[in-house]
Every structure is written in C-alpha cells, then in structure tokens.
Amino acid sequence: MADQPLALVTGASRGIGAATARALAPTHRLLLGGRDEDALAALAGELPDARPWPVDLTDPAAVRAATAEIGELDVLVHSAGLAELGTVEESDAGVWRRNFEVNVVAVVELSRMLLPALRAASGHVVLLNSGQGLAARAGWGAYAASKFALRAFADVLRAEEEANGVRVTSVFPGRTDTEMQQAVVASEGGDYAPDKYLRPDSVAATVLAAVSASPDAHLTELTIRPRPAR
C-alpha cells in the first residue's frame, strides 16, 4: 500500500535482517538491502510490498546512487554486519579494518546520506548491535571494538537528531541462531546447538517493538538475551 510507511532493512538476505523484514511487512513497504540478489528476490516474493535493494554498503558511490531515489524514509534498520574474530596477537590491521568498515563506517555513511529522508518522515533508525557492544571478552577484540563504536555512533546520532524528530534505538541481542553464529561457534571449536541461542524472529520482535512505540516514547537501548533451557 502506497500510504504505508517505508522501511529499509540492511542485511535482509538472511538471519536477523530477513526476520526483521518479515516482522515489518504487515505494516510497512520494504526495501530489502543486501548483496545476495537471489535471496533478496526470494524474500521479496514472500512479502506483500517489498523490493530488493542490492547495494554494496562499503561502496560510497553505489550507496549515494541508491539513496538518491529515497525522498522520505520512516524506518532504517542496520542489520548488516561482519564478525571476524581472533585474539589481539592473531588479528592484523586488516581484520580490524574489515570489522570497522562494515560494522561502523558503512553504517555511518548510509545513515548520513539518508538523514534528509529520515528528517522528512520523522523517521526511526534501529542499529542491531551485540552483547559484545556492552562487554568485550577475549578473542573478540576487533568485532567488540567495532560494536562499542557503533554504540557511540548511535548515541551521537540520537543527540544530534532528536530535535529533528528522528528516533535512534540500539538493540543488543545475545547470541542468536544465524549462519554468522554457526561460523563463530565453528571458529571456537564448539558443537552447534541451535536451542541455546535466540531465534532471529525474537530479535525481530524487539525491533518491531521499538519501531511501534507510541509517538511520545523513545526507546533508546534494548537488550535481549536467550533464556536458559528448562
């Protein structure tokens, strides 16, 4: 429906991003961000008013061209991310640069280019962070540092844009059952047990709660953790 609000979800080809797109679909028109065009097309085919938005977020020229067509944007969900782990000894400068390029720089640049559209709609920015953005642990240095930086960016964006009607929410999920989590557990040498982790749709429901808050409410930070199995 043309009168429904417009949401852009990055990382929508799988995991939390795809779950978030499904959660928003009943009430929003959707732009599905990502690089896997086949996966985006398949997801768009499931949803009532969605279209792929295949953009390499680390390419500023591509982002500039793709955002030029967006005049008003009600919701921007940053779900795309990279988790390249290792100890400080193992992680060279390239590991740190790649984590920051995807998890911070790309997020900042997309948000910056979409600020006029977000202001025009009194929009809402949701940043999928991580428990590692609250407390870092051994072996997660570059990733955790990028998530701490993402939290700082969210705080600054909120302070600068709240007067313009833009709300900014950081969501800090615990470990979630995704392909990224499978790769992380493999790198840790552990056995993967999906029931130990949050479901992507549980995280998506938290995003929806933030976006659906009444106009007088600004949910700034939300933390969600898996419940222990009984």
DSSP secondary structure string for all residues of the chain: -TTSPEEEETTTTSHHHHHHHHHHTTT-EEEEEES-HHHHHHHHHHSTTEEEEE--TT-HHHHHHHHTT-S--SEEEE-------B-TTT--HHHHHHHHIIIIIHHHHHHHHHHHHHHHHT-EEEEE--GGGTS--TTBHHHHHHHHHHHHHHHHHHHHHGGGT-EEEEEEE-SBSSHHHHHHHHHHTPPP-GGGSB-HHHHHHHHHHHHTS-TT----EEEE-PPPP-
pLDDT over threshold 90, residue 227:
no
Superfamily of domain 6-224: NAD(P)-binding Rossmann-like Domain (3.40.50.720)
The pLDDT value given to residue 3: 85
The residues carrying an active-site annotation are 143
- The structural domains of the chain, with segments of one domain joined by +, span 6-224
| pLDDT tens by residue, 200-219 | 999 999 999 999 999 999 99
How confident is the prediction for the chain on average, in pLDDT? Answer: 93
Its pTM stands at: 0.93
pLDDT digits (tens, 9 = 90+) for 161-175: 999 999 999 999 988
